[in-house]
Amino acid sequence: MSEELRLRYGIELDQSKPRDFSVNDLDGLARSPYSKDAPTATDGNSRALAGAMKALQEKIKFLESELSQYKEQLAISETKHLNDREKWQTRLLDEISMNKERDSLIQQRFYDTEEELKKALARITVLDEQVKIKDLQCKFSENEAKRNMDQFSVEMEGMIMQNEHLQKTLQTKIAAENKNQKIMEQAIRDKDLAEEELKQQKRVNSGLQAEVTYLRENAEHQRSSLQKNKQNIENELTTLNAELTQRVKELELKNKSLRDQNYNQSQQIIHLKKEIAEITKINDTSNTVKIENLKSKTLPKKPPSKSLSKTPRRSPRRSMSPGLKKTTESHKVVKANFDNEDEFKKRICLCEREIDKLSTSYRDLINLSSTGSGNLGDLRREMAKIADDIEKKNEELYEYKKKQQDFLRARLLI
């Protein structure tokens, strides 16, 4: 029993040493019934009383020993209880402090987890915007790849038609040069023939002079007639010489003009060959740049379909996709018909410069979105707007190239 229980229920224990019973006490108890006032007992009663007293004394000793054992057990229990109480109090205080520390740690973890959750939500929002931006980039790259392939096919067909036109022009120039060469050869032959006729006429004239001399020596009467014949022959010779001289001058002038024309045509042929070489070089460079741009803008898994080192062959026209056909029908930008090829070139160069500017702005926005600076939603909307502008400009460029191709085809048919 603990001290708190004794105090609660008002139990008081005698902590003093128990008093020992003596034989005198037993004698007093034994004599008390046989006092002077009481009657004397018999021997039987005294024996019974002595046995009872002895039994009572033994029982008292047993109770005293049992009481001492109980006191020892109580002391041991109280000591153990005090030790257990101190131990449990120490443990309870330790557990309370540990619980407080654990609560503070749990609270701190809760706050940290809440902050991490907020950061994760913000990161998820940013990642969603970045995913939308990447989807927009993929769609834009796919559309641009399709447009570039269509424009590449149109440009290749246009270049082939332009080469055919240049070949046709070159063949025309070569035919004209051959014709002029034949005319020059004919003029040279005419000149040689005229010189031969002049030599023959001189021989005839010398023969006539000899005949005149002979006739002058042989007959005086024929002098007058011969003089007339001579005069007529001289007049004819003068006329013939004048005509031959005029013919030679005309042939020389014609030969000179033909030489000048041949020289001009040779210069034109050289210029056309240089122009064909420059156009071929420009075409190869532009095709290389377009293929490199196509490779850098398309997905890395898509390999190039053709090599630029091969000689371009005329391929059948690709059919436009329904989406692109619909967009070209909905955005009819080109309405003017130009009669000069330079106008097409100016318009195409202007569209290409505008597309390059828009592509530069689009790449800058992609870099901003990859660095995470700025509002991703605004960047995505701005990228979508620029992508629409690029698509419209590409459609306009496609229309101009188709018009240029039609112009070249019509010029080839002339």
Contact predicate 317/155, CB 8 Å: no
Is 39 or 289 the better-scoring residue by pLDDT? 289
22-31, 52-61, 65-74, 383-392: the lowest-pLDDT one: 22-31
- Could you give the 3-state DSSP secondary structure of residue 373? coil
pLDDT at residue 47 is higher than 50: yes
Token pair for 90: 């120490």
Contact predicate 187/254, CB 8 Å: yes
Residue 94 φ/ψ, nearest 5 degrees: -60, -45
pLDDT at residue 210 is higher than 70: yes
At residue 13, the pLDDT reads 47
Of 143, 158, 215, 196, the C-alpha closest to 390 is 143
Q: Where are the domains of the chain?
A: 3-112, 176-283, 320-414
Is 315 or 7 the better-scoring residue by pLDDT? 7
Token pair for 306: 């053709």
Give the tens place of pLDDT for each residue, 110-154.
Answer: 999 899 898 888 888 888 888 888 888 888 888 888 878 887 888
| Three-state secondary structure of 167-204 | HHHHHHHHHHHHHHHHHHHHHHHHHHHHHHHHHHHHHH
Q: Per-residue pLDDT averaged across 394-414, rounded?
A: 79
At residue 221, the pLDDT reads 66
At residue 373, the pLDDT reads 65
Contact predicate 2/76, CB 8 Å: no
Cα gap 140→8, rounded to integer Å: 89
One-character DSSP codes across 104-121: HHHHHHHHHHHHHHHHHH
Q: What's the predicted TM-score (pTM) here? A: 0.34
CA of residue 349 relative to chain centroid, distance? 25
Reported confidence tier of residue 353, pLDDT bands at 50, 70, 90: confident
